Amino acid sequence: MVRSVIRMLLDLKTLGRCEEMTAKNYVIQVGNMYFKGWGEDPLEPVFLLPDAVSHNKFVRRFTTAELPIAEKYCDQFGGEIKEVLRDDRKL
């Protein structure tokens, strides 16, 4: 009985990880650069080049709920929204 409960809990934990890994996020791409965020002055967007060291860690990712915000940013500086997996380290 205890083993079956432990197995069930481990399966649920694994299922949660799989769902998290396949959850979709969105990044903003402008040309070959990716949107990182806003600089010290909130009027200046900051972009990262794909050949920058560890650029994947710092690229701003938007959830599905934040998609309207990403669309607003795209309108401001003419980018496009690219869909990526949450655990996707290669953009």
Q: What is the pLDDT of residues 73-84, one digit of tens each?
A: 999 888 999 998
What pLDDT, on a 0 to 100 scale, did the predictor assign at position 16?
52
Q: Where are the domains of the chain?
A: 24-91
More confident residue, 36 or 4: 36
pLDDT at residue 21 greater than cutoff 70: no
User: Which long-range contacts does 21-25 make (Cβ < 8 Å, 24+ apart)?
Assistant: 21/85, 21/86, 21/87, 22/85, 22/86, 23/85, 23/86, 24/64, 24/83, 24/84, 24/85, 24/86, 25/61, 25/62, 25/63, 25/83, 25/84, 25/85, 25/86, 25/88
What pLDDT, on a 0 to 100 scale, did the predictor assign at position 41?
80
State the amino acid at position 17 in one-letter form: R
